[in-house]
Amino acid sequence: MNQNDLYLIEGLNFIKGRKTQIYIIPEPLGFKLLDPLNLSFKLLVYWSDESVILDWNDYIEGTCSNGLYFRLIYQGEEYKIEGTAEQLDQLYNFCSGKFIFKKSNIFIQNSVIETNSQYQLSLIKNIKENKQYIEKRIFSSFISPRMEMSNSFNTQLEQDRIPEEVRIIQLLNSQKCPYIMKIESITFDGDYYSLIYTNKNLISLKQILKIQKMGLPLSFVIEILEQLLIVLNIFHELQIIHNGINLEMINYSLESNQIVISNFSSSTFECNKEIPIKGNTIGFIPPEYLSNKYLISPLANIFQLGTLLYHLLFNQNPFGNDPQTKLQNNILGKYNILNTNIDKNIIDLLKSMMQTNPQKRKTPKEYLCSKIFKPQYRSKISKNSFLSFLLDNHLSKIEEFEVENENPIIQNIKSLSINKKKN
């Protein structure tokens, strides 16, 4: 602890209107407030506590009077916490994406991109910064079980009001999961929760395949596969079933040359596996979802990744073209390898991921030990081949937002993708 951890607080069982010093120490599960005299606990504020909401509006709107501050609402009590601009900026950045913020009037809606029974997707503008963001306002969603704060992040059966999608994003942000869309804030307006995303220049894997019809460079396929396995390894540890690893859900950032996962509408915790099909596209459904033979676990993510890998290698669905054939073969796990010239190590990995029996699939951590990710193997492949392709094959028109819908699907899935900017 140092002077930067020392704030002023009004409330906390002190005389009304009196301010006193308090230490605020950020931790992965939230932050703790300590008495500076004896370092005793005053409050331990978990981001998963449904009674917690942070009100940063006066600070971010620039209307603070008598100092800079934010408000903490916790278990029916309100505390006013003051600090320097540097302190509050650091604490705001730590809390964003994990804690629920009271929605601010600083965001003005520009246009509605999509509306359905579950959510509304809008383009919004921060009128102070003059920047655009994407807001996903959640109308109807499965309610997440109350989160038990432990090292395992297990969940209890008691329910609270927080949508499961929000809980998953909070958990992933607390674990600093890479390759997910940056959240500006998670907000609550008294009726609905909203996710406010940073506006990024993204292109979906589906769009990439449409552009590069002759097949993707193997170096790019391996890069995408490795990044997704890193994310799925975190999902596996946190017992998250994504339910949406397909060509539309996975985007690519042209700025960072990395994948970006931006939609968790279909995701669920393993403890809620009795209702796992929240939006799977036919051709990506793990066979265990439609069979009573096997338990459903995060290994379902691996099957979806195997199907995605098949698309990236062969530019088509492994189970057929027409909906009936595709669904039947998807259930049976029946597919053919079209090109035997592809490296045997990649084909073996593909076959392992697409095993009908989930118990025969490996974990993401085990797949990351595959030979294809070793420096000796990858040194044979040009890592810059795909970047050269992008520079030479730009789109002729900028479409800032394109919401695509791939049919047929079990439950309607739509995800945001942004076309590549013209050079």
Phi-psi region of 234 (alpha: psi -120 to 50; beta: other; left: phi over 0): alpha
In this structure, how many other beta carbons lie within 10 angstroms of the beta carbon of residue 86?
10
The SS3 assignment for 374 reads: coil
Average per-residue pLDDT for the chain: 83
Any idea which architecture 202-417 has in CATH? Answer: Orthogonal Bundle (1.10)
Q: What are phi and psi of 24, to 5 degrees?
A: -120, 120
Greater confidence (207 vs 376) lies with 207
CA–CA gap between residue 311 and residue 350 (Å, rounded): 11
Work out the angle between the directed axes of helices 218-238 and 164-174 (0-180°, nearest 10): 100
Beta bridge partners of 82: 8, 69
The DSSP code for 96 is T
- With a pLDDT cut of 90, the percent of the chain lying above it is 57
Assign domain 107-198 to its CATH superfamily.
Answer: Phosphorylase Kinase; domain 1 (3.30.200.20)
What number of CA atoms fall less than 13 Å from residue 147's CA on the CB side? 28
Q: Taking 50 as the threshold, does the pLDDT of residue 419 lie above it?
A: no
Query: What does the pLDDT look like over 26-44, one tens digit per residue?
Result: 998 999 999 999 999 889 9
Lowest mean pLDDT among 46-55, 142-151, 239-248: 142-151
| Residue range 218-223: mean pLDDT, rounded | 90
Report pLDDT digits (tens) over 178-198. 999 989 999 999 999 999 998
Burial of 257 (0-12, 13-18, 19+ CB in 10 A): middle
Find out whether 220 and 153 touch, Cβ atoms under 8 Å: no
pLDDT higher than 50, residue 153: no
- pLDDT, tens only, 90-129: 999 999 999 999 999 999 999 999 998 889 999 999 999 8
For 334, half-sphere exposure in the C-beta direction (CA atoms, 13 angstrom radius) is 8
Neighbours of 179 (CB within 10 A): 17
Of the pLDDT bands very low, low, confident and very high (cuts 50, 70, 90), residue 76 is confident
Rounded to a whole number, what is the largest CA-CA distance in the chain?
77
pLDDT at 13 over 50: yes
Read off the tokens for 252.
């690519």
> What's the pLDDT at 289?
87
* Cβ contacts of 15-18, under 8 Å, gap ≥ 24: none
- Find, among 329, 323, 347, the residue nearest to 337 by Cα: 347
Q: Are strands 250-253 and 258-261 parallel, antiparallel or unpaired?
A: antiparallel
Say yes or no to pLDDT of 423 above 60.
no
- Any idea which of 233-242, 308-317, 329-338 has the lowest mean pLDDT? 329-338
Sole residue written with tokens 């593909």: 350
Q: Where are the domains of the chain?
A: 3-95, 107-198, 202-417
Domain 3-95 coded CATH 2.30.29.30: yes
Tell me the pTM: 0.83
Confidence bin at 144 (pLDDT 50/70/90): low
* Mean pLDDT of the 259-283 span: 81
Residues 199, 212: Cα–Cα separation, whole Å? 25
Q: How far from the centroid of its chain's Cα atoms is residue 251's Cα?
A: 12
Give the closest residue to 114 by CA, choosing from 416, 382, 342.
416
For residue 11, the model assigns a pLDDT of 84
Gap between the Cα atoms of 24 and 21, Å rounded: 10
